[in-house]
Amino acid sequence: MTHMKGERGLHELYAEDPQTADRIVFGRKAHADRRGFLRGAGLAAMGSLIGASIPFHRNMPAGLIPVAFAQMDEGALIAEKDGLVVLSDRPINMETPAHLLDDDVTPAARHFVRNNGLVPDMALAGNPSGWTLTVDGEVDSPMELSLEDLENQFEVVTLRLVVECGGNGRAFYNPGASGNQWTTGAVACAEWTGVRLKDVLEAAGVRSSAVYTAHYGMDTHLSGDPEKDPISRGVPIEKAMEPHNLIAVRMNGEPLPALHGFPCRLVVPGWPGSCSQKWLRRIQVRDVVHDGAKMTGASYRVPAYPVAPGTEVPDSDMVIIESMPVKSLITAPESGAEVSVGSVDVRGHAWSGDTPVAAMEVSVDFGQTWAAAELAPEPNPYAWRRWTASVELPIGGYYEIWAKAIDANGAAQPPTTPGWNPKGYVNNMFHRIALFAT
């Protein structure tokens, strides 16, 4: 696992500034007359995280992090991932090399991570006791639902759904944009189990005044300020009522991992992953477009018209990203592999936003000619589709395999980055790999 050092991790922060670490971890101001987190709510929170009281807590040295606590540290969560590239560790952001995304159903250990704040205590502890989901706003019957309520009052469904960060591919824009420099690996297709968002909203009675949803999570802002949301986005009510959006409680048949939203999250496929709020605690229905954290300015927005690279675009001319563009990935062979001259089997996945994938093509001659790839049936809408092809490498040397997906409206992946935008969003250029034939 490649680890590019980002901001300070929890252990480093406690070593340097225990009181600030207290505030970030426990969401409270550390008491100046006591050491570290060993007073009042801090002690109770630590005991809750460990799962037991601490009889000799008065003897604990200042700034000590219990050994058991280390198992729940965000750094330990990073270590659980298999071969991912760490782009930052505070907040945690990790992408998956293309060849590790070959599974039809992405294992949790290989699913990318995009966080905006700190993983909440409940997720670190893996104990959902006391969790509820509030549904309120422009509804006739506001609700407060437990996990049991969700699974007992609504139909439970399981779907394979692609989640992709809106900034996937940002690293290839020129001039570049600030933010995580995702290449191709901020995408995955896990199997999610939960209840339909539509069913829950209908049970609450969505009013005719409803315009947009607003999603709120339990994660902590990096500043430690409990009044600030790291991210709070939403979708138009029409999208919210689409039947493939899930309030998910399981991932690949298991409770949601801490990094992926335990105990409950939204999965809103086809739109930027930022719409799929993790550690979900509230869904508010609003009578205006939501203006929560990372809903305004340039966040998850692109210019309303084409602009030259490097252009400063006024916020008033930026529009919210909705359906994601058609895209594909080559998952085998791994880029840089040595292969034998002759026929080579190539495979990968193709996916799109609200418009389904219709065709898949590959090229071995830098786009001069294209050959159709075989697309497997779609398991369900918004899942990625396996594609396979056999290509001919006639003589020894260096080759590039290019992959191009086409959606049902005829929109195809471009050979280079699409229209430049200030934040480097929605890049769906061809995926290319290198092969050396001998």
Q: Which of 223, 215, 229 is nearest to 271 (CA)?
A: 215
Please say if the pLDDT value at position 91 is more than 50: yes
Question: Taking residues 318-336, what's their average pLDDT?
Answer: 97
Lowest mean pLDDT among 36-50, 165-179, 275-289, 371-385: 36-50
Q: Which residue has the higher pLDDT, 310 or 8?
A: 310
Instruction: List where CATH 3.90.420.10 sits in the chain.
Output: 102-320
Question: Taking residues 356-365, what's their average pLDDT?
Answer: 97
For residue 55, the model assigns a pLDDT of 64
For residue 61, the model assigns a pLDDT of 60
Question: How high does pLDDT run on average in the chain?
Answer: 89
Q: Which residue has the higher pLDDT, 79 or 13?
A: 79
Q: Alpha-carbon dihedral of residues 300, 304, 305, 308, nearest 10 degrees?
A: -30
For residue 29, the model assigns a pLDDT of 42
- Angle (deg, nearest 10), helices 18-26 and 40-50: 70
Instruction: List where CATH 2.60.40.650 sits in the chain.
Output: 327-437
- CA distances 405 to 27, 157, 401, 431, Å, are 46, 29, 13, 10
For residue 5, the model assigns a pLDDT of 36
For residue 289, the model assigns a pLDDT of 98
100, 83 Cβ separation under 8 angstroms:
yes
Please say if the pLDDT value at position 263 is more than 60: yes
- Provide the pLDDT confidence category of residue 43 given band limits of 50, 70 and 90: low
- Provide the pLDDT confidence category of residue 64 given band limits of 50, 70 and 90: low
Architecture of domain 327-437: Sandwich (2.60)
% of the chain with per-residue pLDDT over 70: 83
Please say if the pLDDT value at position 251 is more than 90: yes
CATH 3.90.420.10, domain 102-320, yes or no: yes
- Provide the pLDDT confidence category of residue 7 given band limits of 50, 70 and 90: very low
For residue 38, the model assigns a pLDDT of 41
Q: Which residue has the higher pLDDT, 278 or 30?
A: 278
CA pair distance 198, 343, nearest whole angstrom:
48
Please say if the pLDDT value at position 317 is more than 70: yes
Please say if the pLDDT value at position 272 is more than 90: yes
- Provide the pLDDT confidence category of residue 167 given band limits of 50, 70 and 90: very high
Question: What predicted TM-score, i.e. pTM, was given to this entire model?
Answer: 0.84
- The residue to which tokens 């786009």 are assigned: 367
- CA distances 247 to 114, 200, 254, 273, 292, Å, are 18, 9, 15, 14, 20
CA pair distance 349, 240, nearest whole angstrom:
26
For residue 79, the model assigns a pLDDT of 87
Backbone angles phi, psi at 108, to 5 degrees: -55, -35
- Provide the pLDDT confidence category of residue 11 given band limits of 50, 70 and 90: very low
184, 98 Cβ separation under 8 angstroms:
yes
Query: Model confidence over 101-133: pLDDT tens digits?
Result: 999 999 999 999 999 999 999 999 999 999 999
Query: Model confidence over 371-406: pLDDT tens digits?
Result: 999 999 999 999 999 999 999 999 999 999 999 999
For residue 319, the model assigns a pLDDT of 98
For residue 74, the model assigns a pLDDT of 75
Alpha-helical regions (H) of 114-229: 121-125, 147-153, 197-204
Please say if the pLDDT value at position 356 is more than 90: yes
270, 382 Cβ separation under 8 angstroms:
yes
